[in-house]
A = this chain, B = another copy of it.
Amino acid sequence: MNRRVTLAARPEGEPRESDFSLDEAPVPEPGAGEVLVRSHYVSVDPYQRGRMSEARSYAAPLQLGDVVTAQAVGEVVESRDGRFSPGDVVVGQLGWQEYAVARGGTLRPFTGTPITTALHLLGTTGLTAYFGLFDVGCPKPGETVVVSGAAGAVGSIVGQLARIAGCRTVGIAGGPQKVADLLDVYGYDAAIDYRSQDVAAELKAAAPDGVDVYFDNVGGPVTLAVLRRLAVGARIAVCGQISQYNDTEPTPTIPGLGFLIVYRARVEGFLVTDYAHRFPEAERRLARWLADGELTYREHIVEGIEHAPAAFMGLFRGENRGKALVKLV
């Protein structure tokens, strides 16, 4: 049997266990051109919150009863696509379930190791950090790069990439453990705990010449504090706004736009999928930096598909320390 987590109700505000349903269905059979995959790890990411809502977004919403959208990495069990054979490791949008059938064309073979890196450094998370920082943020050596959600899946990679690019890096995260990780694991030059510290005051010390690049994963008051410390010509890459995803009305994050004139600053949102034609370039570089020890990571792993909703809800409370994953096999 195939255990699956489906959307039982659209969350209002913060998601709850009752918004999800665990069910069992027969393991599906692949049709012509399809592949049956047994997932080893499924991913837990803030963007999934958007799929659970009916609000207009860049992708269609889930319908009630649908298996929750998620990336997964697993092993081919049965293939009716000539490009795949049983035992191949593949990545795809397989959802929060133990087995999935997918068209071969939607799957990506994965040869990296460990296989969990397919869901972070060597997957969409790493690509998001790469294109958001380099193509939207455009950092130059010697500049100061500030990252919110800096100990999270994307943020922890952004900080390391900015260091590789020769920048001074300042990470903002919540709680002493994450702040320790910023300095000791991810190599940020400075770290700020937004829960216990005054972000604006700390930034003044950590970025005395102002913020050249801000990579924003959170929005809200943290972002407001950073925007008050911009350098002239600053670039703000808007990757996520996790502090707002459960809001029923968005909390204003920035006041009037006049500060953008004062600082000749740019605020730009991006989606990693728009860079698909350049994924090979980024994948090669990320893999080399990982192999060379220039990039590292932490994983926050829970076991059993039934715990995916709790891991997901934990993202909004900042409970994960590293990339949130659910181990199935």
Contact = CB atoms under 8 A, between A and B. Distances in A.
A285 interface: no
- Can you tell how many copies of this chain the complex includes? 2
B250 A255 contact: yes
Given A262-B269, A267-B267, A269-B265, A219 B257 contact: yes
Given A267-B266, A268-B267, A258 B274 contact: no
Contacts of A267: 257, 260, 266-268
A257 B220 CA distance: 9
A216 B267 CA distance: 15
B256 A253 contact: yes
A244 interface: yes
Instruction: State the majority secondary structure of interface residues on A.
Output: loop
A146 to B, nearest CB: 15
Contact of A269 (B252, B253, B260): B260
Range class of the A interface residue count: 35 or more
Nearest to A234: B269
Contacts of A134: none
Contacts of A266: 266-269
A216 B261 CA distance: 11
17 contacts: A56-B262, A219-B256, A238-B257, A238-B261, A240-B261, A241-B256, A241-B257, A245-B258, A250-B258, A252-B252, A258-B269, A259-B269, A261-B269, A261-B271, A264-B271, A266-B266, A266-B267
A3 to B, nearest CB: 32
Interface string A35-69: 00000000000000000000011100000000000
A244 B257 CA distance: 9
A162 to B, nearest CB: 20
Given A253-B257, A255-B250, A257-B223, A265 B268 contact: yes
Q: Which of A58, A258, A260, A263 has the largest count of B CB atoms less than 10 A from its CB?
A: A258
A254 interface: yes
A295 interface: no
A251 interface: yes
A247 interface: yes
